[in-house]
Amino acid sequence: MDGSLDIRLPFVLLNGPIHYTPELTGLEYLNASWRVMRQDRREFLSGNMETPISPVSDGPDTYNPRLSQLMVNRHKNTKEWWSREQTCEDISRIPMPIISHRHLSTEHTVIGEGSFGIVAIRTMTGGKEVVTKSFEDDISSEDILTEARLLACLRDTGCVPTMFGVCYSSDFRISIVQEYCAAGVTLYDVLTDEVYGLSNDTWLTIIKQITRGLRDIHRKGVLLNDLKEDNVLVDSRSPNVRAVFIDFGLATFKQGRLYHISEEERQLCAHLAPEVLTGQPTRPSSDVYSLGRMLENISFECDLCGLCAIADGCLDCEPQRPSTDCLVDWVDRLDPLL
């Protein structure tokens, strides 16, 4: 490769480090990259190009002469999208602490309800406030323990509430006991309530934490499968802004999940990727699509140069979307508009 700038080559290498020059940086670089992708897709649809170019997170192992050998080699391992060094072989081997129901107060405050059961604030012996997630009878103990083990698996990522253990009540129902975060304020609350009024810098911190968090979760071999504003807690009032992912009831470990969604239910599932709505199993790029929907909604509340372009790429109708490594690199280049 010579020293001249080929806008196409840096674009197709987006799964690796982003290569750019001082003459083409920031929003100008991102927008130019997405213009190349759109042009490639137009050529593909018109029959002038055999394969469209796009930054992929889990695409097929196919050769395209316009891709560098580095990119082809990276595609060979896409079947295992997790990091062998950062995840465990079998989450069923993760030890699960048992918390006696006698150590939890009977008085509680319900902060969330759903088809799964109830989320409530309780007080442990010693005065520490925790959250308990209790489940309906039709949810198996195996599914509950799997969710708890996923939280334990992701503990060192720092982007999920700390899971303290499970509690068996006097009637043998299982609850997950976890950290009480962000006073229960969700990203949806922050987006829809004007009382929060976050600055661009605060939004940028939240975006970086969410994007890096999703990357780290994928490296652990976990797919969220239900990423949306209601499932992200945001503590924006403390000196250290913190965003964490919650509700791992639909998450999976080293495999996808199939949804069976009727036409009537699709309007309630706008956060799910198009291929998931049509019956294909979830994959890392499905979570990327859901992240794009979230970033799109955030873009209406702040002025961050380049955010719309990033969200646009995540919302590609085809499952070959930017990888989380690529997104982290892009988000690190975002700048508040002055």
How does the average pLDDT of the chain come out, rounded?
79
User: What pTM does this model have?
Assistant: 0.76
- Binned at pLDDT 50, 70 and 90, residue 50 comes out as very low
- Binned at pLDDT 50, 70 and 90, residue 80 comes out as low
- Assess whether pLDDT exceeds 70 at residue 2: no
- Assess whether pLDDT exceeds 80 at residue 21: no
Range picked from 2-11, 113-122, 294-303 for highest mean pLDDT: 294-303
Q: b/e map of 162-174 (b: 16 or more CB within 10 Å)?
A: ebbbbbeeeeebb
Kindly report, as residue ranges, where domains of CATH 1.10.510.10 are found in the chain.
Answer: 183-336
269-to-44, 255, 263, 273 alpha-carbon distances in Å: 29, 21, 10, 9
Helix (H, G, I), strand (E, B) or coil at 97: coil
Res 85: pLDDT: 66
Burial bucket for residue 290 (CB in 10 Å: 0-12, 13-18, 19+): buried
Beta 304-305 vs 335-336: how paired, if at all? Answer: antiparallel
Kindly report, as residue ranges, where domains of CATH 3.30.200.20 are found in the chain.
Answer: 91-180
- Binned at pLDDT 50, 70 and 90, residue 38 comes out as very low
CATH of domain 183-336: 1.10.510.10
Radius of gyration of the chain (CA): 21
Q: What whole-number distance in Å separates Cα of residue 109 and Cα of residue 39? A: 54
% of the chain beyond a pLDDT of 90: 54
Beta 232-235 vs 222-223: how paired, if at all? Answer: unpaired
pLDDT top residue among 23 and 138: 138
* CATH T-level topology, domain 91-180: Phosphorylase Kinase; domain 1 (3.30.200)
Q: What whole-number distance in Å separates Cα of residue 271 and Cα of residue 231? A: 12
Across the strands, what pairs with 167? 99, 175
**13 CB contacts (<8 Å, ≥6 apart)?**
19, 68, 70, 71
| Host H or E run for residue 177 | strand 174-179
**12 CB contacts (<8 Å, ≥6 apart)?**
53, 55, 66, 67, 68, 71
Beta 98-100 vs 163-168: how paired, if at all? Answer: parallel
Q: How many helices (H) and strands (E) does the chain have?
A: 10, 12
- Assess whether pLDDT exceeds 80 at residue 277: yes
Tokens of 328: 């982290």
- Assess whether pLDDT exceeds 80 at residue 279: yes
Q: What whole-number distance in Å separates Cα of residue 303 and Cα of residue 338? A: 9
Please provide the size of the chain in residues.
Answer: 338
Asked if 180 contacts 130 with a C-beta cutoff of 8 angstroms, the reply is yes
Res 153: pLDDT: 94
Report how far Cα 273 is from the mean position of its chain's Cα atoms: 13
- Binned at pLDDT 50, 70 and 90, residue 130 comes out as very high
Report how far Cα 47 is from the mean position of its chain's Cα atoms: 34
% of the chain beyond a pLDDT of 70: 75
